[in-house]
Amino acid sequence: MLPSMARRIYRFFLVCFCASHALAADTLYQGGDSLNSSNTLVSKNGLFTLGFTWLGSAESNGSYLGIWYNNDTSHPFWLANRDKPVADNSGVLALDGSGNMKLTYSGGDLVDFYSSSSSTTNLTAVLEDSGNFVLKETNSGGQQDYLWRSFDYPTDTFLPGMKLGINHTSGQTWSLMSWLSDIVPTPAGPFTLEWDPNGKELVIKRRDVIYWTSGPLTSNTSFENIFQYTGLLDYSFINVSNAHEDSIMFTVSAYQYTPQDQRNFSMWQMKYDGNIVDNVTQLGYGGTSCKGNNADAGCEKWSRPSCRSSRNSFELRSGSFVNTVRSKSDDNSSLSISDCKDICWNDCSCSGVTTRGNNGNNTGCTFFYGKFTIDPSGSAIQYYIIVSQVTSGNRLFIILAPVGFISMMGLAGLLWYLRRRRLREKYLKLNELLTLDSTNDTPELENDGNKGHNLKVYSAATIMAATNSFSADNKLGQGGFGPVYKAWELWKAGTPFELVDPILRESCSKDQVLRCIHVGLLCVEDNAMDRPNMSDVITMLTSEAQLRLPKQPAFSSARIVVEETSSSKPAECGSINNVTMSTMEAR
């Protein structure tokens, strides 16, 4: 009785031990160990699992050998046979006695990971705590050489210690390729993530066309268009550039005070819609934020047909197409949603596409050609719709245009009123000047200061006195608007102050008078382009800036003065001094 009971207890503990050992194993040993659908390898830290998992839909699925993180089998971050799914559970990973590591199934060899050129018995395949599945050889001195690494064959996820770039020695490139859809891992996805050694930046491409860039690496911790929230983990980027390789990799470490349950493992996943998502921060870059017409946050504008303007973009909208709107389906299972959007973008009659494919694997397209009705509640089916965006500037214009129009009309009315009032003031002032006493009474009227200029205003009587009642002795010539007097001749003689009537000389400022004469001569120069405009005249009269010397005026004694010959001769329009007559308007 006791021996029988002892044997049962022994068998129980042996089974438990073996099961525990099998679940916790992280290594395949040469010559006998294998991995199939009923067992797995688990890294020593318990974060990573290597095994077979089923992916796809009920319509079409397959078995894949992959590595997943934290027991999430729905999306392994590495797949060995992503282009060759196994239709049953016959897949086996083995490391045989000859040193060959292969993935086989009932139909033959599926993936040849490593073939040994010589017989060796010291090979092991280990799932490391980094998530890297490696094949190692241990030599007689106990040193281990790496023969093969899963990190050298990335799929759609960038992990710490993994490289993106190129090995110049072997010619091998390291890049990510998105799944075709959220459940189909085939390596025919539309997006890739690559390292550009020339620009020192990460690049997302859609079907080999640049879609998004990270911007250059600005330090060992960040890129221009990538924000890393460092509240939990410390990121460090390592760029290697030499004759052997050009690559980028990153490492992470938890802060000293980061809670143990928040010391998550960081990895960047290339989503099927073009988003790069950090599983820790949940921040995304590229993807649906690049809408076709925007070039912010690293996005590249799409090339577009002539029917698409710079304001057109794809937007996710909730609503419906009316029954009369024409639609077309394309059941090509190699088309992703991003491909559907690209086809619609280049079809001038297409107005939108569905957000899901035509089958259970979420591939294929449905296009719509007509008006889309938006559902304000947002509860209806969502579509990717090509819209014509109203920019913030246009929105502001639409809002402010009516206000601006009313304001402009009010301002125009105010300006009209002020102009009318000023003209009336000028009329009253002119009337006052012209109605002063006789020529013997020549008072000087001080400016009231309203115009801001400290000038003296002379009445018509004052001017008559200064010109001796417009005597012909002071006349220099005559134009369409009247005679010009001999200021030029006195200026050339150096005695312009003699132009002032002796009665007035004692009561006026000589400097002011000379400056007025100087400006006056500038105003009657022969070439109209040399004459100052009215704002220049005001500046000249109200400042002490040095004035340029005047040139020959339009009317001078050197010109021939044509006298009136007969009252019977018809009057001529224009100047009689052979110069053009300008419109009487301030310049």
Alpha-carbon span 437 to 460, nearest angstrom = 10
Q: Given 3.90.1150.10, 2.90.10.10, 1.20.140.150, 1.10.3710.10, which CATH number is that of 24-153?
A: 2.90.10.10
Other Cβ atoms closer than 10 A to 267? 18
C-alpha separations of 227 from 216, 234, 327 in Å: 13, 13, 41
User: What pLDDT is recorded for position 442?
Assistant: 40
Distance from the Cα of residue 24 to its chain's centroid: 50
Alpha-carbon span 557 to 153, nearest angstrom = 99
User: What pLDDT is recorded for position 342?
Assistant: 93
Could you give phi then psi for residue 311, rounded to 5 degrees?
Answer: -95, -5
Mean pLDDT by runs of 10 across the 587 residues of the chain is: 46 41 72 90 94 88 94 94 94 91 91 84 91 90 89 96 95 95 93 95 95 89 76 83 95 74 78 90 85 87 88 91 91 94 94 92 94 90 86 57 75 81 71 52 44 53 65 56 65 80 77 84 82 84 83 58 42 42 45
User: What pLDDT is recorded for position 524?
Assistant: 82
User: Token match 């125009």: residue?
Assistant: 412
Produce one character per residue of 537-565: b if its CB has 16 or more CB atoms within 10 Å, e if not.
bbebeeeeeeeeebeebbbbeebeeeeee
* DSSP state letter for 282: -
The CA dihedral of 165, 167, 168, 169, to the nearest 10 degrees, is: 180
User: What pLDDT is recorded for position 229?
Assistant: 60
Distance from the Cα of residue 273 to its chain's centroid: 20
Please provide the size of the chain in residues.
587
User: What pLDDT is recorded for position 74?
Assistant: 92
* DSSP state letter for 50: E
Alpha-carbon span 335 to 61, nearest angstrom = 17
Q: If DSSP codes are grouped into helix, strand and coil, which group holds residue 504? A: helix
Alpha-carbon span 69 to 81, nearest angstrom = 18
- Alpha-helix residue ranges (DSSP H) falling in 226-277: none
> Would you kindly state where each structural domain of the chain is located, as residue ranges?
24-153, 178-303, 312-389, 437-587
- Whether the CA torsion 303, 308, 313, 319 is positive or negative: it is negative
For 143, residues 6+ apart whose C-beta sits below 8 A from its C-beta are: none
Contact 361, 334 (CB under 8 A): no
User: What pLDDT is recorded for position 482?
Assistant: 47
Alpha-carbon span 400 to 391, nearest angstrom = 14
